[in-house]
């Protein structure tokens, strides 16, 4: 009575569905992000009064970016007026950045996804900064006196530098978003061409040899019978 034991060092043979569907899904996700970035690259550089937002960008911005931004104002209002104005844009960038940091520390392939949204929000904030001198962006509530970056730059007496600072955030966010997509695609293909292999569980080899000894002992006892 002999038993075969699994070879922990061999690479599993994946079913085509298991191998190709995850790659196709990742390519679809990063394709959508690439479209999103294409729309954002134009819309977030300069606000054109009367021009409607692209559908994908406008919808996502309304239901994700804006609620996070407003939540930042509520969270930081206890620290004073200036910090309250900063809080909206700060949370808008830091929330996806923290997502990226946590995922990166866990070596998760979701990390580029969080990094992409950090870059996108940097670009969104840059548009708000660039609008500070002219205040053409439609604001929630419609009161131009509540323009975050006009108030911040005016308090710091750097309103004339708003365009330069906006460029730093815009191009920094653009590079971050492009790098995130590139990293995500690299990881997707790396996993596809190098599927995970079985690795021995700590102590597996010793238990394996122990089981073999027990099996041989049972064989010796049972063979005479």
Residue pair 115/183 in contact (Cβ under 8 Å)? The answer is yes
Please give the radius of gyration of the chain, using alpha carbons only, rounded to the nearest integer. 27
Q: Would you say residue 28 lies in a domain?
A: yes
Q: What whole-number distance in Å separates Cα of residue 10 and Cα of residue 198? A: 7
Average pLDDT, stretch 160-164?
95
Per-residue pLDDT reduced to its tens digit, 6-27 = 444 444 555 555 566 788 999 9
Q: Which domain holds residue 174?
A: 16-200
Contacts of 169 (CB under 8 A, 6+ apart): 122, 123, 125, 126, 129
Q: What whole-number distance in Å separates Cα of residue 169 and Cα of residue 149? A: 13
Average pLDDT, stretch 62-91?
94
Q: Would you say residue 10 lies in a domain?
A: no
**Angle, vertex CA 114, rays to CA 185 and CA 77, nearest 5:** 165
Q: What whole-number distance in Å separates Cα of residue 93 and Cα of residue 118? A: 5
Q: Would you say residue 212 lies in a domain?
A: no
Q: Would you say residue 210 lies in a domain?
A: no
Task: Report pLDDT for 17.
Answer: 54
Alpha carbon distances (Å) from 77 to 46, 82, 86, 87, 166 = 29, 9, 10, 8, 24
Per the model's pLDDT, the better-predicted residue between 139 and 158 turns out to be 158
Per-residue pLDDT reduced to its tens digit, 80-113 = 999 999 999 999 999 999 999 999 999 988 999 9
Q: What whole-number distance in Å separates Cα of residue 203 and Cα of residue 217? A: 21
Q: Would you say residue 219 lies in a domain?
A: no
pTM: predicted TM-score of the whole model, two decimal places: 0.78
**Number of domains forming the structure of the chain:** 1
Q: Would you say residue 147 lies in a domain?
A: yes
Task: Report pLDDT for 7.
Answer: 45
Alpha carbon distances (Å) from 15 to 9, 22, 198, 208 = 19, 12, 16, 27
Residue pair 195/11 in contact (Cβ under 8 Å)? The answer is yes
Residue pair 53/36 in contact (Cβ under 8 Å)? The answer is no
Task: Report pLDDT for 10.
Answer: 46
Task: Report pLDDT for 14.
Answer: 54
Task: Report pLDDT for 67.
Answer: 93
Q: Would you say residue 21 lies in a domain?
A: yes
Average pLDDT, stretch 176-189?
95
**Which of 45-49, 69-73, 124-128 is predicted least confidently?**
45-49
Task: Report pLDDT for 9.
Answer: 44
Q: What whole-number distance in Å separates Cα of residue 78 and Cα of residue 177? A: 32
The pLDDT confidence band at residue 200, using thresholds 50, 70 and 90, is very low
Task: Report pLDDT for 66.
Answer: 92
Q: Would you say residue 8 lies in a domain?
A: no
For the chain, what percent of residues have pLDDT higher than 70? 77
Residue pair 170/40 in contact (Cβ under 8 Å)? The answer is no
């Amino acid at each position: 009575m002999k038993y075969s034991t699994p070879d922990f060092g061999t690479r599993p043979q994946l079913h085509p569905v298991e191998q190709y569907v995850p790659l196709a899904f990742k390519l679809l996700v990063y394709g959508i992000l690439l479209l999103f970035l294409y729309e954002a690259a134009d819309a977030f550089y300069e606000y054109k009064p009367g021009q409607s937002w692209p559908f994908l960008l406008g919808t996502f911005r309304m239901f994700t970016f804006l609620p996070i931004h407003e939540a930042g104002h509520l969270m930081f209002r206890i620290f004073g007026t200036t910090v309250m104005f900063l809080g909206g844009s700060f949370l808008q960038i830091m929330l996806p950045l923290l997502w990226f940091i946590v995922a990166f520390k866990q070596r998760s392939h979701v990390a580029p996804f969080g990094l992409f949204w950090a870059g996108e929000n940097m670009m969104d904030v840059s548009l708000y900064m660039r609008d500070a001198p002219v205040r053409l962006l439609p604001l929630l509530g419609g009161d131009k006196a509540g323009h975050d970056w006009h108030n911040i730059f005016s308090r710091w007496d750097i309103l004339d530098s708003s365009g330069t600072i906006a460029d730093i955030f815009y191009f920094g966010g653009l590079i971050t978003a492009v790098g995130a997509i590139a990293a995500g695609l690299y990881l997707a293909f790396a996993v596809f061409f190098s599927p995970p292999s079985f690795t021995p569980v700590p102590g597996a080899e010793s238990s394996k040899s122990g089981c073999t000894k027990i099996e041989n002992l049972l064989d010796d006892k049972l063979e005479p019978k």
